[in-house]
Structure 1
Amino acid sequence: MSARWLDDELEDADTLPERPHKHKAKKPLGKRRLATLTADPEGGDETDDLIRRLTDLGHITEVVAELKSGKEATAYVARGPRGSVLLKLYRELEARSFKRDGVYREGQVILDKRAAKAMQGRSRRGLEMLQAGWVTAEYAHLWHLWRAGLNVPEPLVGPDPYDYAQTTPAVLMRLIGAEDTPAPRLSDAALSPEEARDAWNQAVGGMADLLRLGYAHGDYSTYNLLWWENTVTIIDFPQLTTRQNPNFKDLLRRDAESLATSFRKHGIQADAEATLREVQRRAGGQGPKPRVLLP
């Protein structure tokens, strides 16, 4: 998948001149308080601006609970017109504990030199574009993988980039599991030996499916795999990289090592290099049946 989509997204965003910094720099927005996300505006409560926007756009009706907080985002359970929603809210870049994202972005071609310079220098405009790019990347990858038939959460906004660009810094996808019992990560699941072997086979197959499409996940382990109804679902895609990235082979090898290491908890003793070879072997075979998107 070409990185040109990122250039298209950013080209218009950088046509406005830089605004002078006349105001005091605000503190980067980190994790939002659940109380502001679940506030009732009709009752006079102060509602989070992002939640109000997502509600006005018709994507969600309410936020129910916090699910998981990670290095760059916090996941919440929400409700929407199409059922239960996984609402992923990114922190502002400067408020994240995970900031070394350059290794994943190498190889992207950004034709707008002003945009590229702003992002490299991490100016105010550059940080805004990086934030938007991180979110649109996850949506774009989700749509590509979902259409290709991989076991990933269904994206609930798009596929037109104009639509999902309006949700920044949020990504909305269908919740895996039930509202009161969301699917656990494989790292937290209690598996029988038979279930562990099945999960391992599916996880290796999922990595092969990504490779067949020309992707390395960048953080592939039981921490980014869900287990629900004996099915492995792959999550967390903003750092997904293609063969255009000069670090692709290293990231792919690291994914194989992370997968093998994280599965040892479940009694699977697999060698990282053997895992990589098996992934590469399977990637040469037939992939899953693409999904047919009905209007």
Structure 2
Amino acid sequence: MVTEAGAFDTELGIVKTGKEADLYLIERAVPGTTGTLLAAKRYRSTHHSDFHRSGSYEEGRVMRNTRDVRAVGRKSAHGRSVAAGHWAASEFAALSLAWRSGVPVPYPVQVSDTEVLMEFIGDGRAAAPRLAQSRLHGGELADAYRQVVEILTAFARAGFAHGDLSPYNLLEHHGRIVVIDLPQIVDVAANPQGMDFMYRDVINVSTWFARRGLDNDPESVFADLVAAMW
């Protein structure tokens, strides 16, 4: 239903703001039917947008329009607009890849200019909490940890790393862990720092679980991820 030509969208308000994008709640409906809630992530293209870490993530990617490449490098108004659109397209492509690879991500609906429309993860109009907000400790987190390792493994098998994985971009929805914020997804083979990004993802989540009292072995997990790629 969410992709039907006769559907129309109603904006219900903002869910959260971020450094580079804001997330809005959208209801999409066909006249005479119950609507479906979607999340619209809108990248900013104005002067306050901050794509400060994009360089290392972008290694191994190609932007074909040389004028756009120069504009992004100069950080002109046009360049920032191009960057916003580029990151929106990158996130939609990453969501699509992750979905096809069996990674639990919001279903990607469509991309338009600087906006990515995707499945809304939550109950009613309330977004699912981030894993970082969980009050669980020790063994109570064992299942969440297992799911996170499965997520890392699914990325590795597809030849990619999330690139910025942490408890702040993992949602917990009725016991299911869902990954969000994927524009910086890294092709491990094409990016010279690919393995470093993968290792950092492991360390980030491992450290959080350890602080919450769940013992784990990040070096063993990383070794398994490397093995899963071949």
Structures share a fold, TM > 0.5? yes
Amino acid at match of 1:252: M
Q: Counterparts of 2:14 and 2:118 in 1: how far apart (Å)?
A: 15
Q: Name the structure 2 match of 1:19.
A: none
Q: How many angstroms does 1:97 deviate by?
A: 4.4
Amino acid at match of 2:194: F
Q: Counterparts of 1:60 and 1:257 in 2: how far apart (Å)?
A: 43
Q: How many angstroms does 1:85 deviate by?
A: 0.9
Q: Name the structure 1 match of 2:171.
A: 226
Q: How many angstroms does 1:168 deviate by?
A: 2.5
Range with bigger deviation, 197-206 or 138-147: 138-147
Distance 1:209-1:72 versus aligned 2 partners, 3 A rule: same
2:24 maps to 1:76: yes
What pairs with 1:58-69 in structure 2 (closer than 5 Å)? 61-69=9-17
Aligned mate of 2:45, from 86, 92, 98 = 92
Unmatched 5+ stretches in structure 1: 1-56, 158-163, 286-295
Asked whether the equivalents of residues 72 and 91 of structure 1 are also in contact (C-alpha less than 8 Å), the reply is yes
> CA-to-partner distance for each residue in 1:24-73, whole Å, 9 max, x for gaps?
xxxxxxxxxxxxxxxxxxxxxxxxxxxxxxxxx97763222332222212
2:69 maps to 1:121: no
> CA-to-partner distance for each residue in 1:184-209, whole Å, 9 max, x for gaps?
11111233644410110110110111
The alignment of Structure 1 onto Structure 2 pairs a total of residues equal to 220
Asked whether the equivalents of residues 11 and 27 of structure 2 are also in contact (C-alpha less than 8 Å), the reply is yes
Q: How many angstroms does 1:149 deviate by?
A: 2.4
Amino acid at match of 1:234: V
- Which structure's CA Rg is the greater one? 1
Q: Name the structure 2 match of 1:274.
A: 220
Aligned mate of 1:173, from 109, 112, 118 = 118
Distance 1:133-1:98 versus aligned 2 partners, 3 A rule: closer
RMSD, matched Cα? 2.3
**Identity over the aligned pairs, expressed in percent?**
33
Asked whether the equivalents of residues 157 and 229 of structure 2 are also in contact (C-alpha less than 8 Å), the reply is yes
What pairs with 1:1-295 in structure 2 (closer than 5 Å)? 61-81=9-29, 83-92=36-45, 94-157=47-110, 164=111, 167-191=112-136, 193-242=138-187, 243-281=189-227, 283=228
Distance 1:180-1:241 versus aligned 2 partners, 3 A rule: same
TM-score, normalised relative to structure 1: 0.67
Q: Counterparts of 2:83 and 2:51 in 1: how far apart (Å)?
A: 13
Distance 1:224-1:59 versus aligned 2 partners, 3 A rule: farther
Q: Name the structure 2 match of 1:49.
A: none
Q: How many angstroms does 1:104 deviate by?
A: 0.5
Distance 1:284-1:248 versus aligned 2 partners, 3 A rule: closer
